[in-house]
Structure 1
């Protein structure tokens, strides 16, 4: 069914707030799901904050790779904090309303931080490429100033890329209905609720999302293709295993992130698969941030040692 366009209300917005539908099929189990998601949220925040703290406390981890990793963990904390508290409110009290301004603010922050995450992942790929393929130039190129510029550039690009489509969407007419079939204010469901013509904004957003995902993916593929070639040329099996171990955690995170986000955002028509988007978005906003600290810590001996050192210092102080 084609969306109804109401021309007389084209420049008016009568909707003052939206209703987040959440997960109506399991709303009767709200208290159980509240506890599950609260535990996942607290674990994710504590895990990511632990990584950040260890990296900034232990001087052995104050290297470019761990600086990028701490930036990644910080963005993950901000991202889930933008989404999960409102979901917890829906599960606990059933309060599903969100104001017009808060909804678009949430939408922008989610898209901005989401784009920033992918740019950071591509920077992590470049870092591993320089460390493994260009070790003699690594210290010179990946100096503190360059690391700061790369991370700042990721935030700036994420901000600029997502600001325009969200601002354009907020200027359209919303004259009802106001029920968002999602647990947060996402671009696709909001577009579907507008009673203005949205095809140009949908095309713009599709192209921007495609560029963000594809550009970071291309950089990652090129970097890791060169990394694999370089590793296979190493003389000993132990050196090859050590080189691969530094990249395996990054590749696992990449698989989780790209899989869910391609499913959610890179499709021209947003209205056709909104129900299935909720499950994919739940993976991206709850499961992935929960697994990332586990993936990075369980497979990283340097983080293990740094964590043991911090715990031993705490015990000595007692």
Structure 2
């Protein structure tokens, strides 16, 4: 049966609203978690807090989408109320035989297109900001394994260590034995790969999430603007202990980072097999 213009318009409207709600939900999934903000918070219905320029842009995009969604929802609700009050059987005992209205048909086609274009422009700017890597001050390689992360600092000598979930530290399920340490206000390039199955390296506070694929080297970047501990998790279902594969990033000052590098060179470079042995013990 041929679809009427009115039915097409209603389906188009519902589909557009679904796209808008889906985009907002996707943006909301990038909320950040720091050491001071882990766990549920009173009236915590928004982001937990940003710690990078990219996450700042994601928050702005999310706020804009919420405004668009709210306006559209209120508008559609008002139209439904008007239709129920003015065009019910009691108010119109003789139903209208109107088949279509050219101006309305044009309006509900052009206006959604303009709204989508308005959403697309800042979306493309955000994607460009995320994918256009600036000149890095520090490079870190994160290798996903079942079920822990191995971090390498190619710019700072032979520093390589494993990072496993810590059972005796807080916060539960997020603390690790060896954190990824980076300096504040520095551009950090993160090279990401995997050795066995697909993992995903994601730190919500920095607005980053990139797949760790065996045989492929992906990369992303962040610039931490706050000191402290920030947490993420493997975001790709990778097997039995997927839920026990947290990511902990400690952001420190330049002086503290320089001191940590010297300590890490002695701790990890002196016996690089220690980390592998500890990882094997933890999996038993």
Shared fold (TM-score, shorter chain, > 0.5): no
More strand by percentage: 2
| Greater Rg over alpha carbons, structure | 2
TM-score by length of 2: 0.30
Larger RCO (alpha carbons 8 Å, 6+ apart): 1
More helix by percentage: 1
